[in-house]
A and B are shown apart, each in its own frame.
Chain A
């Protein structure tokens, strides 16, 4: 390519226009001459390394109402089809959205072929029923994190494509989770068990009803998915074969990205829009109420749910050992709380645990021996 100061297209334009071509697309851009390197040792051409010049300018407020991709050249006369309700960077942004997306792409797996289904052998009836009840719960709740982020994707301006791309990957992950737990329930002589069923929609205050992205993310990523992540990470305790261990390990890997998104978004927002910190603290108040009461309906370990009892059976090793299992489950719940606390600290809202704002029941869980 020629020196960046020349018009490298002058002769082409002259030739083309003499022949009646318009060629308005043939103009030098601000990134002319700037080649990108693709290094296989560093994961190839990663999305976070692509943008420069105008394409890299992420506006604090987006005025993109035509759905054009960030950095493309606007045209006059294009209809304003972008009814995007999320048009403020702070409402959706995080530092590493593109990185999380690329990690998700690299770590995709297949529930059909990457789980060693042949390692599932017949289990005692009480264990199989417990596995199936737990799987039924998880297959039911996982795709809330598909539907709801999906709804928000369509509301986010493409100027913030990095978090959008991450959310697209989350929808894919959750589809796979719905799928893999349904498969587990139907793979070993069992079946689907009792559905969950909540009344949160009557009064709102849940993931589906959130009218603000950060509100939704606090409920979904920080609270709901955080609890599930803890459980998945302890999957060895509930697993009776390699297939189940693989399921929990791969799902935990996915879930950790989801939680990371929520933490990093909260961290960004809390630092940039300090006048929203009190509002975010109120979302965390709600999240903690849900965490200690199980009201969110997202936590399989929440008391009173069939999945809670199923976990007790699995952790104890059978119906006759469910009381032992419930003691281990309490330890799981404690860990859910501890990891929630750590997450909130990393997000930059840890002061609530020092100034008395946090739900006192959290401390109850943490102080039990």
Chain B
């Protein structure tokens, strides 16, 4: 390499090989079951000692749950990992949802028949582009939120971390599929989001449980409802398929959040009241975004079939909002939070819409 150096020093001598680690395991003889159809799943690993999920995980390194740790302190904490109580993040379905997220993966590049959304009426095209712009931004915000919280989560609950990695990947896919939809026919990206709900999600710092509730249940049920309506009122097979795929992904995210919130309520007395109070404040913020005409009009145009059908389209949007609030309340009922007595006026009014 160099011309002026003397002979290079020899490589460091290899220390004597130490095989003392061979005995260092908390449980030997483990053979996780490989299922015929599902293969070897993450959940199947939780057998014996490896399935003992503690209520508190003291370690603040990346030590795998179930690894042997020599007596005394081994290594130094590496910072972060403040969410160390099971009730901070656990959900019994996290491992299954992780595997489902992987098995149901899809590619926006190849799974969507992009050539079949051509030649829509110009007003419908622009409406779809505006709706897509909003949904793309929502997904981008979701990525920022999950990415920021992921490093806070202790390794004692790796199932949750791995599930959220799939959710992050899903959100990334939602970001780019809606960007592609906005650009594919030359409509282009529309107006940015009014951002009031985005803001409360990004600024939520009480805890992961609270952020999850806002992001997944308050916002997530809205997003899923829009996805479903996009599929149902799709002007082309492209929107139909995008709506269906994204709704399927979103259902997994909501399923995690429901299980987690229920776990938190069952294990942390009083958390249901805190959650309810937080949601009450957040519902008022949703109303501010709702007041914005852009998304409402765009959906009315897209789902109604054009500007000239927007009056009818507005009735569809009203039903969408009703279905959103119904879904939101249903999820909360399951979790064990009753928002009905103090539901925000806008939400309550949405329920009055008839078919």
Contact = CB atoms under 8 A, between A and B. Distances in A.
Interface of A: 1-2, 8-9, 12-13, 15-16, 19, 21-27, 29-36, 38, 40, 43-47, 50-55, 66-69, 71-75, 78-79, 81, 101-102, 105-106, 108, 110-113, 115, 117-118, 126, 129, 132-133, 136, 139-141, 143-144, 146-148, 150-154, 158, 161, 164-165, 168-169, 171-172, 174-176, 178-179, 182-183, 186-202, 206, 208-209, 292-293, 303-304, 306, 309-310, 312-313, 319, 322-323, 326, 330, 333, 353-356, 358, 360-368
B297 A25 contact: yes
A365 B168 CA distance: 40
Contacts of A102: 109
Given A19-B310, A67-B137, A198 B172 contact: no
B12 A15 contact: no
Nearest to A34: B186
Interface in B90-139: 98-99, 102-103, 105, 107-110, 112, 114-115, 118-119, 122-123, 125-127, 129-130, 133, 136-137
Contacts of B30: 186, 189-191
Contacts of B355: none
Interface string B255-282: 0000000000000000000000000000
B15 A111 contact: no
A200 to B, nearest CB: 8
Contact of B189 (A22, A73, A326): A73
Given A23-B297, A55-B188, 9 more contacts: A12-B307, A29-B188, A44-B107, A106-B110, A154-B145, A175-B161, A303-B12, A362-B1, A368-B10
* B118, B141, B162, B186, most chain A CB atoms within 10 A: B186
Interface in B299-346: 301, 306-308, 310-311
Given A22-B294, A189-B31, A113 B39 contact: yes
Nearest to A45: B114
Nearest to B7: A367
Contacts of A175: 98, 161-162, 165-166
A198 B76 contact: yes
Contacts of B145: 154
A30 B188 CA distance: 8
B194 A78 contact: yes
B39 A40 contact: no
A78 B194 CA distance: 6
B198 interface: yes
Contacts of B118: 35
A363 B8 contact: yes
A68 B148 CA distance: 18
Interface string B58-81: 000111101111100011111110
B207 to A, nearest CB: 17
15 contacts: A21-B310, A24-B293, A25-B126, A26-B123, A36-B184, A44-B112, A67-B193, A69-B189, A72-B133, A73-B189, A112-B41, A143-B158, A186-B30, A194-B21, A356-B4
Contacts of A171: 147, 150, 165, 168-169
B45 A182 contact: yes
A35 B186 contact: yes
Contacts of A365: 11
Contact of B62 (A78, A140, A190, A202): A140
Using C-beta atoms within 8 Å of the partner chain, give the interface range for chain B.
35 or more
Contacts, number: 421
A192 B61 contact: no
A169 B143 CA distance: 12
Interface of B: 1-2, 4-5, 8-12, 14-15, 17-19, 21-22, 24-32, 34, 38-42, 45, 47, 50, 61-64, 66-70, 74-80, 98-99, 102-103, 105, 107-110, 112, 114-115, 118-119, 122-123, 125-127, 129-130, 133, 136-137, 140-141, 143-148, 150-151, 155, 158, 161-162, 165-166, 168-169, 171-173, 175-176, 179-180, 183-196, 198-199, 202-203, 293-294, 297-298, 301, 306-308, 310-311
A69 B137 contact: yes
Given A44-B109, A72-B133, A309-B18, A150 B147 contact: yes
A100 to B, nearest CB: 13
A135 B5 CA distance: 40
Contacts of A54: 188-189
Given A171-B169, A186-B32, A193-B67, A43 B110 contact: yes
A2 B190 CA distance: 19
